[in-house]
Structure 1
Amino acid sequence: HTKEIACVQTQCPNNYRTGREKDGLYYYGRGYIQLTWLENYANCSLDLYGDMRLVDNPDLVSDTEEGAWGSAFWYWNKYVHDIPEIKDGQFGHTTMAINGPLECNGPYKMKAFKRFVIYSKIFEVFKLSKPSPKQNGCYPMIDHIDADNVEEGATYFAVCKPTGFYRRQPGMYHWCNDNCNDNGPNCPDNMCKCPDDLYRYHTIMKEKKII
């Protein structure tokens, strides 16, 4: 999608507002990296074109391939590419840099986790070079869950890993995360190992209606 789905019909007139926008112009997510906010449209336009065309006509970011790709490359190079943790393979830092308030600190942490799993599968299929992907950098990462002392509203993701024979089987790391690290785990104990309190944690969270 080159336009923020939630804004296609309404243009989200109350979102991403600074008070400096011209009447009738809205700077919701557009392009392949979903550029938002007037300031980003202005800086991107100046860097790419030397003028304010993307401010005057923000749909250029979504409706032209040049704008959709150009804005994505601009944002990546300016705000993401040089983060040291990303160069170390810490995938979560890319999510934090692009959409952190919603997906790392907001209500969509599970989407961030699933994106990491998809990226890891692509990494494996294409046999990409090191560093191998790591989840770190977005949602909380812990190895042990104190299920009796979780913060209200917190959602944690713990890595479930293949064990024994299955550690040598291609794709098992992803299978364990897909099938074990969720609200209704379907995880054979002799195939995958999760933190001891993971299942009890999910039970408590369900009772609190947090997840």
Structure 2
Amino acid sequence: QRASIARKASSSAQANSFHDSVFNHNSVLKKTAEMGISESEFNSAVTACQYARPGRGIYQFFAKETGDFSREEQAMFLAQLIHESAGFQYKEEIAYAGNNHHNAYQDNVGLPGKTYHGRGYIQLTWGANYKACSEDLGMGDYLLRNPEVVATNTELAVQVSVWYWRSRVRPQIRSQPNCFGATTKAINGAIECSNGFNQQAYNRYQKYLKVASALNIRNKARENGCYN
């Protein structure tokens, strides 16, 4: 009888836990829909950049992880995600996809036999960044030991992108508010922002303008902060 009671209690606790999880998840989506980007707007922004409508799960993870972003910041972040991933088609640097035997992005933090090329919608590179991201996400050194999982897990691909934005991009936004180029500089500045006009950086801003228009952002960010 005690075992039966225990099973019922366990079942009830699991049901309550599941209910709370669903409630919290739906609350996040509702809050984002009310204050941030709705799923319809998200899809419109992606298709405005000439890409196919993304899978439903991507928006859900985006909404969950960016609940504290303003619409203006969400627009800049989304534009960079779209550019980096070709409209959420890729979660891994194309040049190294599936190749775990190259020597790129080697540092003194990465582990032997592992590669730390770009993975995620904003591509995470270098062992030091995989380690820092993993620790900040409460995963210990899991991503350092298993970097390849970022390219196979949509939620992780979003999470590492948000981590990079918060830790590397936001400080640039604070020092250069409303300058989209500053976000590009924080993501790929060494290549796109160090030698005058750069077509890729320009293309990023053009995508941002399309995203901002799709989201009806009135105070659009300026192009400044990268090569100008």
Please tell me the TM-score bracket, short chain as reference.
0.5 to 0.7
- Cα offset for 1:63? 0.9
Corresponding residue number in structure 2 for 1:62: 151
Do the aligned residues in 1 keep the contact of 2:110 with 2:126 (CA within 8 Å)?
no
Is 1:133 equivalent to 2:224 in the alignment?
no
5 Å-filtered alignment, 1:2-41, equals 2-11=91-100, 13-41=102-130
Distance (whole Å) between structure 2 residues aligned to residue 70 and residue 125 of structure 1: 24
Alignment RMSD: 2.1
**Could you say which structure has the higher helix fraction?**
2
Give the letter aligned to residue 6 of structure 1: A
Distance (whole Å) between structure 2 residues aligned to residue 27 and residue 108 of structure 1: 29
SS of the equivalent of 1:40 reads helix
TM-score (norm 2): 0.55
TM-score (norm 1): 0.60
Do the aligned residues in 1 keep the contact of 2:107 with 2:128 (CA within 8 Å)?
no
Q: How many residues align?
A: 138
With over 3 angstroms needed to count, the CA separation of the structure-2 counterparts of 1:20 and 1:81, relative to structure 1, is closer
- Cα offset for 1:14? 2.1
With over 3 angstroms needed to count, the CA separation of the structure-2 counterparts of 1:8 and 1:45, relative to structure 1, is same
Distance (whole Å) between structure 2 residues aligned to residue 123 and residue 72 of structure 1: 20
Corresponding residue number in structure 2 for 1:100: 189
Corresponding residue number in structure 2 for 1:124: 213
Distance (whole Å) between structure 2 residues aligned to residue 115 and residue 101 of structure 1: 15
Give the letter aligned to residue 120 of structure 1: L
With over 3 angstroms needed to count, the CA separation of the structure-2 counterparts of 1:8 and 1:106, relative to structure 1, is farther
Is 1:78 equivalent to 2:167 in the alignment?
yes
Do the aligned residues in 2 keep the contact of 1:44 with 1:71 (CA within 8 Å)?
yes
Q: Where does the alignment leave 5 or more consecutive residues of structure 1 unmatched? A: 142-211
Does 1 or 2 have the higher relative contact order (CA < 8 Å, sep 6+)? 2
Do the aligned residues in 2 keep the contact of 1:102 with 1:108 (CA within 8 Å)?
no
With over 3 angstroms needed to count, the CA separation of the structure-2 counterparts of 1:67 and 1:106, relative to structure 1, is farther
Distance (whole Å) between structure 1 residues aligned to residue 196 and residue 222 of structure 2: 21
With over 3 angstroms needed to count, the CA separation of the structure-2 counterparts of 1:103 and 1:61, relative to structure 1, is same
- Cα offset for 1:8? 1.1
Distance (whole Å) between structure 2 residues aligned to residue 55 and residue 93 of structure 1: 28
Give the letter aligned to residue 129 of structure 2: N
- Cα offset for 1:129? 3.4
Distance (whole Å) between structure 2 residues aligned to residue 108 and residue 57 of structure 1: 37
- Cα offset for 1:9? 4.5
Give the letter aligned to residue 110 of structure 1: Q
- Cα offset for 1:122? 2.0
Distance (whole Å) between structure 2 residues aligned to residue 105 and residue 14 of structure 1: 25
Do the aligned residues in 2 keep the contact of 1:11 with 1:28 (CA within 8 Å)?
no
Q: Where does the alignment leave 5 or more consecutive residues of structure 2 unmatched? A: 1-89
With over 3 angstroms needed to count, the CA separation of the structure-2 counterparts of 1:64 and 1:107, relative to structure 1, is farther
Q: State the Cα deviation string for residues 82-108 of structure 1 (Å, max 9, x = none).
A: 43255x321100010011112222699
Q: Percent identity, aligned pairs only?
A: 37
